[in-house]
Amino acid sequence: MKLYDVAELAVRNLRESVLRNSLTTMGISVGVASLVGMLALGIGLQRLADRRLEKSGLFDTVIVTSRRELRNFNREREDNGPSPAESPSLDESARTKIEGLPNVLEAYPDIRFVTELRYEDKPHLTTVAGLPFSARNNDAFDGMAGGFFSSATAPEVILQKSFAEQLLGRADKDDENIKVEDLARDLLGKQLVMRYAERTATASERNDANNPAGMGYSVISREQTLKIVGVCDLDPDSLRQQARARLFLPLEFAQNLHVLQPSDLRDTTNVLSGKLTYTTVEVRVRSPKYVQSVEDAIKKMGFNTFSIVDATKNLRQFFAVLDLFLGIFGSLALAVASIGIVNTLVMAILERRREIGIMKALGASDVDVKGLFFAEAGVMGVFGGAIGVALGWTIGRVINLGANIYLKRQHFPPEQIWFVPWWLVVGAVAFAMIVSLISGSYPASRAARLDPIQALRYE
């Protein structure tokens, strides 16, 4: 029989006992829906985690320090590579070289200092850090009130929530729920006066760079007025732990202030040679998977590095296991459904014994009969798969909707925790069809083996 005829006969046979076959098909679709649902949940959660990680900047960041900086993040590695005294200094040319490495998005110096700020004539002490302009996509600014810096050199600041509370004198003790919006209403557009120590080289020193002995630099106390443009809820600087800043300036602006850095004193000899060195350079990598290679390349240059790359590896493994388990649970329902297919088709053989006998007497070959039963199983599989995907998708939409209503009540931004990629749609329908065909193979071969004389005698 031609394929088209087989399919047409299969559909018309299925329509003959609509109720039973549609119940079987519903069984398949429930199985597929649960499989799609479980996997979509796993995929959605993984995407959510990936996006969070990517935006947090934790996992695509490499922190570079000079070996000269003896207070390192990972001391045990100091044994390898050049000794601190012979290692290169982390200056502008090194930064440019690092930025030129493959898969590096940007490398910027970490400007960070403790200083005094005056707000409405009251002094406050905190750590200030420069933020690169690219940080505006950082996840930490998701729930921010106000806006990001208007330009990379604007005299503007973004406050961390806890510092904003401090400025307004609102201690967050008994009431945990002070909203950033409330803080921002009182602070946005207001001015802060920052007092800092500027390091300036004197003209006479500069003339003789080859003879650093006897050179010096002067430190001048300065004041800078800053405009508050944003208050952020989360902590964009969490990687720094104790050293984390609560007030952020545009990085370029901060660099131009030439604030005296703590390392300047320690590294006096280098500073005096006229070369500006950085304590730390932060390197942003295109994707977490390149972190290791970038780290290796920077180490080869003679610097120390630090990243949290291993954490992502564990996280991915966790999601692979989660997906596996969700998939197994989803497949269980499909396995039950496939037993339904076997049952339906075996019953159909008993019911249609005579029909099979007639077909064989008329000249149907084993292949024809087998193909017909196979096609019936396949048609149920395709329909069941398609309905199941639609069902799973709908359930997912409903759960997304419910989850987002809950998140909104908790003052969190909406999230897509349920994600159905196109390959899951195609894969689920194909999987349903394959499972159906496997389930149909036993009934089909049993029908094909039927002895026509026995079948025709059967009344």
Partner 1 sequence: MIATAGDDLRSTDSLAIRTENLCRYYQMGEALIRAVDGISLQVRSGQFVALLGQSGSGKSSLLNLIAGLDRPTSGSVVVEGRNLATLTRQELAKYRLKTVGMVFQSFNLIPSMTVYENLELPLRLAEIDREKREDLCCQALDRVGLRARIRHRPTELSGGEQQRTALARALINQPQLLLADEPTGNLDSHTGTEIMNFIREFNESLGMTVVMVTHERALAESYAREMIFLADGRLVQSQPPASADDLETMRGGAR
Q: Interface residues with partner 1 (CB under 8 A)? A: 1-2, 5, 9, 12-13, 16, 354-355, 357-368, 452-453, 456, 459
Q: Among the residues of 258-365, which ranges form H helices?
A: 262-266, 268-272, 291-300, 309-351, 353-362
* Residue with Cβ nearer partner 1 (171 or 367): 367
- Greatest CA separation for the chain: 119
Min CB(349)–partner 1 separation in Å: 15
| Locus of tokens 């590896």 | 313
Min CB(374)–partner 1 separation in Å: 16
| Number of Cβ within a 10 Å radius of residue 302 | 16
* Residue with Cβ nearer partner 1 (16 or 296): 16
The secondary structure of residue 235, as a DSSP letter, is -
* Residue with Cβ nearer partner 1 (246 or 370): 370
Looking at 213-314, which runs of residues are DSSP E strands? 217-232, 247-250, 280-285, 303-306
Structure tokens given for 202: 């004197």
* Residue with Cβ nearer partner 1 (31 or 357): 357
* Residue with Cβ nearer partner 1 (324 or 367): 367
Structure tokens given for 357: 């006998």
Min CB(356)–partner 1 separation in Å: 10
* Residue with Cβ nearer partner 1 (13 or 439): 13
Measured N-to-C along each axis, helices 3-16 and 366-409 cross at an angle, to the nearest 10 degrees, of 70
Min CB(45)–partner 1 separation in Å: 49
* Residue with Cβ nearer partner 1 (2 or 300): 2
Min CB(348)–partner 1 separation in Å: 12
* Residue with Cβ nearer partner 1 (325 or 458): 458
Min CB(2)–partner 1 separation in Å: 5
Min CB(354)–partner 1 separation in Å: 8
Structure tokens given for 32: 């597929």
**Backbone phi, psi, residue 107, to 5°:** -135, 120
Which amino acid would we find at residue 438? I
Burial letters 324-335, b for 16+ CB under 10 A, else e: eebeeebbebbe
* Residue with Cβ nearer partner 1 (411 or 457): 457
Integer Cα distance of 112 and 243 in angstroms: 9
Comparing CA positions, the residue from 250, 245, 249, 222 lying closest to residue 235 is 245
Q: Please state whether beta strands 156-160 and 217-232 pair in parallel, antiparallel, or not at all (unpaired).
A: parallel
* Residue with Cβ nearer partner 1 (274 or 452): 452
Helices then strands, each counted (H, E), the chain: 15, 11
Comparing CA positions, the residue from 299, 140, 271, 129 lying closest to residue 209 is 271
Integer Cα distance of 369 and 359 in angstroms: 8
Give, for 13, the enclosing helix (H) or strand (E).
Answer: helix 3-16
Structure tokens given for 121: 């004539």
